[in-house]
Chain A
């Protein structure tokens, strides 16, 4: 990968306004579950990857993703201390530079002193801010993902959210704005009632026989008790019959049914083991959709065969890779056009020098 930005620059973004839902995230932490570490990572990894691609941080599905700032619900402000190339993707949050509205899903060149404000989300729970060259941070198991509960990850590795009054170091951008953007068809599109597929788990057989039907007939409301650990769903309680004896490993997307009958879908910061019965699980893509829902939004579930789920997930990733490749191609084109024009300039001056002799 070409290093386009200067990572040695000591300055970056001054954080003026922030909260605990503003965190450094990447593709997540793997290899630490044996010690009890959760996977973490961007809830909407698709949006995080696209944000990186836009600012020229090339990344591929199925591998690592440079660190981005995950912004939950909005209400964040930064001041640039050096020229920085940024892009915002994901939830529809008002984006302003020096109080002027600017577009999401495209590169923005901030100059020193520029004020970048992200307002309350109009639609969607999470947006992603990427910076050309990324954010340097210590890694644990190859990831900088912030997990507040575990005191792991983040800018200083201590598991802290991005705090107001701190300087977030990032690379400086010494070139013009390449004006790379994504067509609106590829922007996050919010639906306040969402249908999400679910894969049946083996434990479903041991639970109430009505459960498979009830789960697909009912509409579930996203409650305020949802966070990066899990989405707590509300509605009429479901029948709970079985209790499991031994705790077992839990995966992203698992739907747990605690004794109160209100399902919880595990998101990125889920505990690694647990003993509640599980009805099944959402796919990774389904978790990205669910994780974008806001309090008061609704979700309904439909059953999806395992083979179809694997196929859908693979197709989703292939499509995302095509989008990432298309942005990378735009970048390549911009870089070569600049090299050409610079090349023409230097040839021109060379010719001038010849003439002088």
Chain B
């Protein structure tokens, strides 16, 4: 097949993206779609690939079921990378995963009509009380599946199917920084004020994205995030803005 590399026994495919980029397609590892198990492999790849490729590696972009690898074309090429991956496949794809090594980040969230203007509308849509909606949204651990759209914007999934919500028919021109939002079966925190088409349920007072910090974000693709409901007073004490 054109544009890709496969090897017998290795559960992933390599897809050609450009002369300096290739994509590790992990869909075969997750026939049911991306989930916590695949995200553990993703975390492992995020740690192992820089060691495997050294200074030939320019950038890694993990997202849902794939990892894009951008490399220095003067130092390495696609077949050399594929060879390295095939050789290291045991360490890369069948890692001895220990749940304790993976990060879970707790994000405080003030769910209210003043911080989440769509709270009532979403509850009504799903025939839930606001309290039930908050319980369903905060009662679950989410995986970070991708980061993009804007710096620090993390796609978290997947929400309880009972609160799966379509996007707004008319996106808002301005969404407050820290807004906690849902769309389909995903949820996210807007890292900065921006336009947005997701329904807003609350606000996270902790600044998530800081260009000058290392790392810039408290989590990366593959990590686990939980929302912890907080009261108004706590929200304001943590620096939340209304």
Contact = CB atoms under 8 A, between A and B. Distances in A.
B78 A306 contact: yes
Interface residues of B, number: 51
Contacts of B59: 30-31, 33, 39
Interface stretch (A71-79, A107-115, A244-252): A244-252
A107 B79 CA distance: 43
A282 B19 CA distance: 8
Contacts of A150: 150-151
Interface in A255-281: 271-274, 278, 280-281
A140 interface: yes
Interface stretch (B60-68, B92-100, B114-122, B128-136): B60-68
Contacts, number: 156
Given A37-B151, A246-B66, A201 B15 contact: yes
Given A35-B147, A36-B150, A36-B153, A251 B70 contact: yes
A37 to B, nearest CB: 5
Nearest to A39: B59
Given A34-B221, A140-B211, A152-B151, A199 B19 contact: yes
B8 interface: no
A140 B216 CA distance: 10
B45 to A, nearest CB: 12
A66 interface: no
A200 B3 contact: yes
Given A33-B61, A34-B62, A152-B211, A251 B20 contact: yes
A249 B46 CA distance: 14
A309 interface: yes
Given A34-B61, A202-B3, A251-B68, A313 B148 contact: no
A258 to B, nearest CB: 16
Give the secondary structure class of A's interface.
mixed
A36 B149 contact: yes
Given A35-B152, A36-B153, A272-B61, A62 B72 contact: yes
Nearest to B21: A251
A281 to B, nearest CB: 4
Contacts of B201: none
A252 B221 contact: no
A292 B63 CA distance: 31
Interface in B20-73: 20-21, 23, 34, 46, 58-68, 70, 72-73
B101 to A, nearest CB: 18
Task: Place the interface of chain A in its size category.
Answer: 35 or more
A260 to B, nearest CB: 19
A314 interface: yes
Contact of B3 (A157, A204, A283): A204
B193 to A, nearest CB: 11
B19 A249 contact: no
Nearest to A287: B18
A250 B59 CA distance: 11
B144 to A, nearest CB: 10
B61 A273 contact: yes
A324 to B, nearest CB: 14
A253 B147 CA distance: 20
A214 interface: no
Given A35-B209, A61-B74, A249 B2 contact: no
A299 interface: no
A13 interface: no
Nearest to A308: B19
B4 interface: yes
Given A33-B61, A35-B151, A200 B16 contact: yes
A344 interface: no
Contacts of B67: 249
| A150, A246, A317 interface centre (most CB from chain B within 10 Å) | A246
Contacts of B148: 36, 247, 271-274
A280 B60 CA distance: 19
| B3, B66, B153, B192 interface centre (most CB from chain A within 10 Å) | B3
6 contacts: A35-B147, A61-B74, A202-B16, A248-B68, A283-B20, A284-B18
Interchain residue pairs A-B with the least CB separation, the first 5: A249-B68, A249-B61, A281-B18, A251-B21, A273-B148
Interface of B: 1-4, 13, 15-21, 23, 34, 46, 58-68, 70, 72-75, 77-78, 146-153, 155, 192, 209, 211-212, 215-217, 220-221
